[in-house]
Amino acid sequence: MRYPSTTAEVLRRRRVIVAAATITLLLVAGVTYAVLLHRTSASHVAPADPSALSIASPTIASPAAGTARPDTVLPALPPTSDPEAFARQVAEAIFAWDTTSLLTRTDHIEQLVAVADPSGASTPGLVFDLDTYLPTQAAWVELARYQTRQWLAIDAVTTPGTWATAQAQAGDQLLPGTTARTIHGTRHRAGIWEGRPVASDHDVAFTIFIVCQPSYPQCRLLRLSILDKPLD
């Protein structure tokens, strides 16, 4: 995500929200993009390197006739009105993928877009966010050569300390029930490299912007912060 701003008002807000200018820019970015103010086109992240690959997935039994194979269909996220439970579901879904299955990166994006704000106002930006969290299509194909899979172990889910100030600054630009949850966890990858199992772990942190009651009966996904640059 990219963020504008150099007016006196923005500078004043930076001093109020955080002491560090970099965190302030992130806050403005998160609020601006997470609350439906901008729409951006999709981009790509650099391919993952072989040292962070993932292990082959377990063998899946053949399904009964007339049913879909479990590795060809992603389950819908269970509906919930609990912001923390929803944030956990979203976080785990973002990082859970397996290149040895028949699922594509597009399937994973669509799984999360299905729980986006029904108005569609934030959907283009959300697609952009998800696109940057997933390997590019070229990287996906390369990772499949190493039977790469990935998952997330969540250590903590917190409400950013600056969120109340951000809400006050945003005013009526936020839908009622809009909130944020910052995820701290460990990204696990495993795979096969030169015929041998390899694995790697990497600490990650990011903020999920969502909207729940009273705007919607169930929580909905708005935007994501830049990976490893959460709202604190």
Q: What is the pLDDT of residue 72?
A: 76
Angle, to 10 degrees, between the axis of helix 8-17 and the axis of helix 21-34?
Answer: 100
Q: What is the pLDDT of residue 6?
A: 40
Mean pLDDT by 10 residues, the chain (232 residues): 42 41 38 36 33 33 42 90 98 97 96 96 96 96 96 98 92 94 98 95 98 98 97 88
- Which residues, 6+ apart, have CB-to-CB distance to 175 below 8 Å? 35, 36, 117, 211, 215
C-alpha to C-alpha distance for 195 and 100, rounded to whole angstroms:
15
Q: What is the pLDDT of residue 39?
A: 31
Q: What is the pLDDT of residue 4?
A: 41
DSSP 76: P
Q: Write down the domain spans for the chain.
A: 8-57+71-224
Q: What is the pLDDT of residue 45?
A: 32
Which two three-digit tokens encode residue 213? 């009651």
User: Which strand ranges, in their side-by-side order, compose the sheet holding 178-193?
Assistant: 97-98, 149-158, 178-193, 196-211, 220-224
CB-count exposure of residue 29 (10 Å: 0-12, 13-18, 19+)? buried
Contact 99, 148 (CB under 8 A): yes
What 114-121 contacts at long range (C-beta under 8 Å, 24+ apart), as own/partner pairs, is: 114/76, 114/77, 115/76, 115/77, 115/90, 115/219, 115/220, 115/221, 116/220, 116/221, 116/222, 117/36, 117/175, 117/211, 117/216, 117/220, 117/221, 117/222, 118/216, 118/220, 119/36, 121/36
C-alpha to C-alpha distance for 68 and 4, rounded to whole angstroms:
46
C-alpha to C-alpha distance for 29 and 8, rounded to whole angstroms:
17
DSSP 116: B
Q: What is the pLDDT of residue 232?
A: 85
